[in-house]
Amino acid sequence: MVLGGDVQILVLNCAHVASQDDIVRAGGQTNDAFFRTALLRHDERVRTFTLNTADGERLPQGMGLDDFDGAVISGSPLSVYEDRAEVRDQLGLAREVFERGIPTFGSCYGLQLMTQALGGRVRLNPKGREIGVARGIMLTDAGREHPMYRAKPAAFDALCSHQDEVEALPEGATLLASNHVSDVQAAVIERGASSFWGVQYHPEFDFAMIAAIIAKQAQRHIDEGLARSEAEVSEIARDLRAVEGVESRADLQWRMGLKADVIDPKTRSAEFGAWLDHKVRPKALARA
């Protein structure tokens, strides 16, 4: 089955629908909605099709992986080292997408999933969670030369939410970026005609999503000493929601030390524009 439109992207939503519903009620959006918005920001011809992989969805009859010019793998509250049926299924699907030569981009759990699927290792980060803004992400020499970061400075901040990290990259991987919390903040895996670009942070997110994640886990933040009360968590979430948008608060941006790399939506999601240009559009042209 050949789909209509210019650029066809398969979105592998790796979070259970129920957990996504909780995030929406807290003021966020679903993973596929974020990816759709981020991709369209860089190419209005993009069309997406979502599979909720954590809930066992499969492509409908008559549609196959080869109908897509690229795939994106979302974040998830799951851990790739868990012995769960849905995780095993996701690992198998990620491996199949890669081996079929479909250009793939993964954020957070997406990077971890492909790493584990291709022979690397993922662990609970011994340094703890990274939540809100990942500070001081530094490009390696390879990262400074890689097209993924053509529109990024050598050091930048990014929105994030993760407790796991890549411990060891698989064969064929190149480290592109690190910071003081996670050695692997970005990497690419190239094997023959197969290509994966992955980041530990979330270039697709906005500040309202970070606020929703924080609000939803108020007690956890208190238990970990990141806030002193539920009222304080609510105040943090409120300020995050006010950081950007039509009535964005410059005072809050200044107080939080936020710059254009994380405030401006197009700059924040620039990795997607680079991926579309260098990996997806060439495949779309070849398929046409």
**What is the set of active-site residues?**
108, 202, 204
Q: Please check whether residue 158 is in contact with residue 137, taking contact to mean a CB–CB distance below 8 angstroms.
A: yes
- 142 CB-contact burial (10 Å; exposed 0-12 / middle 13-18 / buried 19+): middle
Which residues 6+ apart lie within 8 Å of 256 measured at CB? 133, 239, 243
The per-residue DSSP string of 11-58 comes to EEE-S-HHHHHHHHHTT---HHHHHHHHHHHH-TTEEEEEEEGGGT--
Using DSSP bridges, classify how beta strands 194-199 and 104-107 pair: parallel, antiparallel or unpaired: parallel
Q: Which residue has the tokens 């197009």?
A: 266
Alpha helices in the chain, H assignment, sequence order: 17-25, 31-42, 85-99, 109-117, 141-145, 207-216, 218-223, 230-242, 250-255, 260-263, 265-268, 270-275, 281-287
